[in-house]
Amino acid sequence: MQLPLRHIAHFDLDAFFVSVELLKNPSLKGKPVIVGGDGQRGIVAACSYEARKFGIESAMPAMAAKRLCPEAIFLKGSYGDYSKYSRMVTEIIAGAVPVYEKASVDEFYVDLSGMDKFFGVRQYTRELREKIISETGLPISYGLSANKLVSKMATNEAKPNGFLEIDHGQETAFLWPLRVEKIPMVGKQTQHQLHAIGIHTIEELAKTPVAQLEHVFGKWGKKLWEKAHGISTSEVEGYSEQKSLS
């Protein structure tokens, strides 16, 4: 018996903390804005895309960010405001879909499987994105595919403020040209280990025998191979406010 097609969307608010600050102060648009730290102490919690052009990243020491971009504007941030906007987006999604998972303050998975019996899943997902943008003023990107892994990677390629939809059966066509560091959970150490054995692209990873990967990475080797083939059985976990507080 053929299993029904799954439709999983991954939504991610773009540079969320910074986007909220831009709503509060539109004069900051187009400028290198950093939330977190003061240029001397602290850690970068978020940065605008203009700041990223200088090589600034989240979790970077504020002092290092200041060296990369002396003209950067540092903001302490307002976590009460971020929570408020996160709840706004959560309420919009909760009112629109049967099953969703809030992966973080600015990231959501939505299971639309079966809804294609009633309307076009792609059109519905696009309309949900537009609703979030129009009601909150926040830019948001999404990826749509058959599973959480591919959808998250599609979102990352669609950013900023875009969307990317991967047809069923086209997972490897999308994934294989990408570099291995694009795979979620592949950190610097794994990246260096892969490069050391001549693996730079996801296609090269996918075509490497599982036994060879397990020799280098243990059980993680098979997982890497599966990710390279766009294989993921992870379910969208239902979300509730009570669960999020536990």
Clarify whether 226 is annotated catalytic.
no
- Number of CB atoms found within 10 A of residue 41's CB: 9
Show the 3-state SS of 162-229: CEEECCCCCHHHHHCCCEHHHCCCCCHHHHHHHHHCCCCEHHHHHCCCHHHHHHHHCCHHHHHHHHHC
- The DSSP secondary-structure symbol of 28 reads G
Exposure string of 201-235, with b = 16+ CB inside 10 Å and e = fewer, is: bbbbbbebeeeebbebbeeebebbbebbebebeee
Classify burial at 43, counting beta carbons within 10 Å of its beta carbon; exposed 0-12, middle 13-18, buried 19 or more: middle
Rounded to whole angstroms, the Cα distance separating 110 from 98 reads 8
Whole-number Cα distances in Å, 53 to 21, 22, 30, 39, 220:
19, 18, 12, 17, 33
Which one is catalytic: 57, 101, 107, 235? 107
3-state class of 16 per DSSP? helix
Contact between 142 and 11 (Cβ < 8 Å) = yes
- Number of CB atoms found within 10 A of residue 122's CB: 16
**Residues forming the active site:** 107
